[in-house]
C-alpha cells in the first residue's frame, strides 16, 4: 500500500488525492500535521485497507481523531513508523551482543597472551639436553601462539571499529526516537511520550506508594482566536502557552502537548495540594501578558487557560485518572474558564 501511495503521489492524480485528503481532514476537524496527512492520504486512496477501515471506524463513531490515535495507527500500519521501532530494538540488541563478544575476545586475548608467555618461558628453559624434536615442537607452538595473538589483535581492532559505528548509529536512532516522541510545534512531549511517561509514573507510584497528580490544561476560546487571527498566529499562542508550562515540567515531571490546544502535566510524588499551587502559578503567568501578533505587532489581547487536576486514587488505572482530570477541566470550562478545578471537588458536589 505504501508503494501504491508513492506511485499515486508522482502521477496525474496526486493533486486531486491531496485535496481529497485535506478536505476529509477539515470535515472531521483533524489537524493537518504531516503524520495525519500521510494517514488520511492512505484513507482516501483506499478505505478498504486495514488502516482505511480503522480511520473509517473512528469517523463512523463520531470519535475525535486525536494525536494519540494518529500515532498509534502510524505505528501499526505505516512501514516507516514500524521500521523506526524495529531499528531501535535491533540496535539495542546488537549493542548488547557486541559488548558480550568484545568481553569474550578480551578474555581470550588475555588467556592467549598468558599461554604464549608460558610457552616462551618453556622454550627458553629447554637446555641442550632436550631432544631436538621436543624443542622443535615447543618452538612451533610458540610461533603458532604468536600468530593467533596477532590475529586476535586484528579482530579486536575490527571489533572496536564496528562497535564505534554501532554506537554512532544508536545515537542517531535515539535522536530519531526523541524526535518521534516530541511535539514538533512546542518541543514538549507528544501524546505517545505522554502515554508512556504516565504509565511509568503509575508503575513507580505502585512501588513507592507516593502520590501522583495529573493536570490537563486547555487554552480558552482557542477556536475563536484561531479563526479570527489565522493558524500561524494560533501556533504562536500555542507555543507561548507551551513555554510557560515547560518551565514547570522539568524532570521528574512531564509536560506534554496532549492534542490541539490541550496540554498535560504529570507530577509524580506531588499531591493535589502541591500541584494546585504549581498550576495556579502557570495559569496566572499565562494570563499575565498582553500578546502581540508577531508579523504585524497588533495587540492580540490576553490568553487564558482552564485547568483540571486529579490526584491518583490507590490502584487507579491510567484511563480513569485521565477521565477524572478531564472532567475537572470541563468543570473549569463550565464555571467560566480561566480557573483550576480539582477532581475531588466535582465528586464532593455530586
> Hey, what's the cell of 12?
496525474
Respond yes or no on whether the N-terminal peptide bond of residue 306 is cis (omega within 30° of 0). no
C-alpha 37/C-alpha 11 separation (Å) is 18
CA distances from 348 to 216, 227, 270, 341 (A): 20, 38, 21, 12
- Bridge pairing between strands 340-342 and 305-311: parallel
Which residues is 216 bridged to in the sheet?
264, 308
Q: Is the distance from CB of 216 to CB of 262 less than 8 angstroms?
A: yes
Q: Is the distance from CB of 257 to CB of 188 less than 8 angstroms?
A: yes
Q: Is the distance from CB of 126 to CB of 135 less than 8 angstroms?
A: yes
Element (H, E) at 31: none
Strands (E), 254-326: 254-259, 262-268, 291-292, 299-301, 305-311
Please identify every residue annotated as catalytic. 261
φ, ψ at 311 (rounded to 5°): -90, 135
Q: What does the DSSP assignment read for 70-113?
A: HHHHHHHH-HHHHHHHHHHHHHHHHHHHHHHHHHHHHHHHHHHH
Amino acid at each position: 500500500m505504501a508503494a501504491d501511495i508513492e506511485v499515486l503521489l508522482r502521477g496525474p492524480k496526486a493533486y486531486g488525492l491531496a485535496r481529497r485528503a485535506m478536505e476529509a481532514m477539515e470535515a472531521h476537524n483533524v489537524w493537518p500535521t504531516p503524520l495525519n496527512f500521510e494517514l488520511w492520504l492512505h484513507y482516501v486512496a483506499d478505505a478498504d485497507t486495514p488502516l482505511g477501515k480503522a480511520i473509517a471506524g473512528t469517523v463512523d463513531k463520531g470519535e475525535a481523531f486525536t494525536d494519540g490515535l494518529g500515532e498509534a495507527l502510524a505505528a501499526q500500519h505505516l512501514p516507516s513508523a514500524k521500521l523506526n521501532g524495529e531499528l531501535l530494538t535491533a540496535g539495542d540488541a546488537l549493542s548488547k551482543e557486541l559488548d558480550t563478544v568484545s568481553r569474550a575476545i578480551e578474555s581470550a586475548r588475555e588467556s592467549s597472551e598468558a599461554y604464549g608467555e608460558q610457552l616462551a618461558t618453556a622454550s627458553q628453559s629447554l637446555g641442550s639436553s632436550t631432544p631436538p624434536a621436543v624443542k622443535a615442537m615447543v618452538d612451533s607452538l610458540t610461533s603458532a601462539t604468536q600468530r593467533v595473538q596477532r590475529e586476535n589483535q586484528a579482530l579486536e581492532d575490527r571489533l572496536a571499529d564496528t562497535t564505534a559505528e554501532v554506537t554512532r548509529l544508536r545515537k542517531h536512532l535515539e535522536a530519531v526516537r526523541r524526535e518521534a516522541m516530541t511535539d514538533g510545534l512546542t518541543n514538549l512531549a507528544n501524546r505517545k511520550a505522554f502515554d508512556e511517561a504516565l504509565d511509568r509514573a503509575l508503575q513507580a507510584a505502585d512501588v513507592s506508594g507516593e502520590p501522583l497528580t495529573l493536570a490537563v490544561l486547555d487554552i480558552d476560546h482557542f477556536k475563536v482566536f484561531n479563526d479570527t487571527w489565522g493558524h500561524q498566529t494560533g501556533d504562536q499562542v500555542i507555543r507561548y502557552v507551551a513555554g510557560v508550562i515547560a518551565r514547570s515540567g522539568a524532570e521528574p515531571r512531564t509536560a506534554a502537548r496532549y492534542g490541539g490546544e490541550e496540554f498535560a502535566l504529570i507530577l509524580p510524588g506531588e499531591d493535589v495540594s502541591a500541584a494546585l499551587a504549581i498550576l495556579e502559578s502557570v495559569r496566572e503567568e499565562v494570563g499575565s501578558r498582553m500578546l502581540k501578533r508577531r508579523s504585524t505587532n497588533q495587540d492580540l489581547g490576553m490568553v487564558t487557560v482552564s485547568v483540571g487536576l486529579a490526584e491518583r486514587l490507590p490502584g487507579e488505572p491510567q484511563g480513569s485518572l485521565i477521565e477524572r482530570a478531564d472532567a475537572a477541566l470541563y468543570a473549569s470550562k463550565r464555571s467560566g474558564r480561566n480557573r483550576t478545578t480539582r477532581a475531588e471537588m466535582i465528586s464532593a458536589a455530586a
